[in-house]
Amino acid sequence: MKRMTNRERILGVLKGESVDRVPIWLLFPWDRTSYYTDVRKEPSYAPVVEAMRRSASILNRRNFDIEAFAADFRLAFPGKSFHASLARELSAHEVTEGNANALMAAGRFLDSEGDLEAFMALPVLGDAREVAAGLERLLPTYLEERAAFPMDCGAMMLDLGEPILTLYSASNLLEYPIWSITHRGEVAAFLRRLQAHYLAKYRWCLERDLADIYFLVGSELAAPPMVGPEAFREWVLPFQKEIIDLVHSYGKLAITHFHGQIRDRLEDFIWLAPDGLHTIEEPPIGNCPLSEALRIVDNRIALIGTIQYDEFRALEPDGMRAEVRRVLDSAKGRRFVLSPSAGPFHKMLDDHMRDNYLAFLDEGERHGGCDA
């Protein structure tokens, strides 16, 4: 097989096609994000970024979002304290890093059943024309980023959110699990109203062919043991399935992200039918060996993982190489993308982590070939 580009490699595995070797996705951002280190601006990451451009597929994850409510949600919560800079942003019903991040900046202000009920009564911004007006304001910056991105290295990937993220980000997490028992049906109905907003955003972006891949992160926010499996199936599955089916109807790809106890959820993810599932967490952190996940999924989804982020701090480079070989041997012949479990959180990269990232990339490229 001819040597493929890093773009061809990652898209090929997600589509279920044969590739020349296992793709590597380091989760490093290309453009700045609010949740990862700006690796291209931080000098300590430079050797890894250079190696990544040679060896890994880069998915340029962007958050393309607007406020989800048709009215300023602060008015429904008199006496609550909100972040001052957020208040200025919300005055125009627009935030720069996404509605969920805005709610987090405001604080988890849903502290009681009364708060939850007031929140669920808010009018949702679901009209397609109003959603489009908000997105149009963000489009020029996105198009500049896309034009500057080295597309042969990977693909643009949009993270547009999903209904559960809006609720989770605003909720006191001591109360949130209780509501999955006392208000499960009411929350599901509220999420259905929110879904109109999210579907309008996805359609707008899909119609304009803005990205090859769409990244969904909500499934881990309403899953056991935080809430029961019934809540997971009512609060996550129908909405994520609708989004994935919409993405597929435009010929685009979807990756679902899930941290946690995934073994008993794998059949649910098979039903959702994304193109990729990140990440399989093995014991002792998670509950599912990679070999078991590969057997259950049986190539219906590309599995993405599965080396823990903490291993980049804990292992020596030789140990990292051995771990990469173990994972690749387990996944041999399967739809698989080699990846850490999380992205770069350290503001500066020390020599030890740098060497482990370089060992990860080098061993992944050496040992990930079809005939390895």
Q: Can you tell me the mean pLDDT for 237-255?
A: 98
Q: Can you tell me the mean pLDDT for 313-328?
A: 97
Distance from chain centroid for Cα 149: 19
Fold of 6-367: TIM Barrel (3.20.20)
Report the C-alpha gap between 232 and 124 in whole angstroms.
22
Give the pLDDT band of residue 84 (cuts 50, 70, 90).
Answer: very low
Give the pLDDT band of residue 155 (cuts 50, 70, 90).
Answer: very high
Express each pLDDT in 116-130 by its tens digit.
999 999 999 999 999
Q: At 305, is the secondary structure helix, strand, or coil? A: strand
Cα-based distances in Å from 278 to 4, 238, 330? 23, 19, 16
Residues in a beta bridge with 156: 60
Burial of residue 278 (CB within 10 Å: 0-12, 13-18, 19+) is: buried
Report the C-alpha gap between 342 and 259 in whole angstroms.
9
Contacts of 339 (CB under 8 A, 6+ apart): 24, 25, 26, 27, 278, 279, 304, 305, 306, 307
Cα-based distances in Å from 310 to 256, 260, 285, 316, 343? 22, 15, 10, 12, 11
Give the pLDDT band of residue 34 (cuts 50, 70, 90).
Answer: confident
More confident of the two residues 5 and 90: 5
| Domain spans, the chain | 6-367
Report the C-alpha gap between 18 and 49 in whole angstroms.
27
Report the C-alpha gap between 64 and 214 in whole angstroms.
11
Residue 29: left if φ>0, alpha if ψ -120 to 50, beta else—which one? beta
Decide: pTM greater than 0.85: yes
% pLDDT > 90, the chain: 84
Q: Can you tell me the mean pLDDT for 82-97?
A: 42
